[in-house]
Amino acid sequence: MKKLFLLLFILVSSSLTFKAQAQVSVNINIGAQPAWGPTGYDYVDYYYLPDIESYYYVPKRQFIYLSSGNWVFTTALPPRYSGYDLYNGYKVVINSPRPYRYFETHKVKYAKFKGNHGQLVIGKSKGPKYSPAKGNAKVYRGDKGKPSPHFNKGNGNGKGHGNGKGKH
């Protein structure tokens, strides 16, 4: 009888042990974010760029924009955006898969951020948290190989309007 009680006790206590275990997963991709990305986010999948109605996919470092009705995935912006200042333009963080499927919604929802130049970017942040990403400053070069005259400029006054919650 004691052996049966002991066996039952071991089974019950081991099942309680398995139930008490929790899985904790923390995703951080600060080092993968470009220096022109906004501060305040430990993890980012996509940025929506309202000024040029385009997206940037952080993990693959790809711009996504419409061209002749098709989405183009490339590491550089097209020549028509060669004067666009990534450091100065507003970025909306979107952490959902393939957000360009909802482009028509984003275009309307985030139109209010067009021309907003008050977001603090990682490359101009003084915090040590972003030091791994500060090395991700890559000068955009158009088709002719010349750096954009407006790239890497911006006021960096830190008055961004993102809510920092990740999903939009």
Q: How confident is the model at residue 167 (pLDDT cuts 50, 70, 90)?
A: very low
**How many domains does the structure of the chain reveal?**
1
* Structural domain includes residue 129: no
Instruction: Read off the pTM.
Output: 0.65
Quick check: is 18 in a domain? no
The strand pairing partners of 56, in sequence order, are 47, 63
- Contact status, residue 155 vs residue 87, Cβ threshold 8 Å: no
**Based on the number of CB atoms within 10 Å of its own CB, is 1 exposed (0-12), middle (13-18) or buried (19 or more)?**
exposed
Q: What is the mean pLDDT of residues 28-42?
A: 83
Q: Is the pLDDT of residue 156 over 50?
A: no
Check residue 131 and give its pLDDT: 60
> Within a domain: residue 45?
yes
User: At CA 141, angle to CA 59 and CA 63, rounded to 5?
Assistant: 30
pLDDT band for position 87 (50/70/90)?
Answer: very high
Whether 87 is covered by a domain: the verdict is: yes
The boundaries of the domain holding residue 76 are 41-122
- Residue 85 inside a domain? The answer is yes
Which residue spans within 34-112 are E strands per DSSP?
Answer: 46-49, 54-57, 62-67, 70-74, 92-94
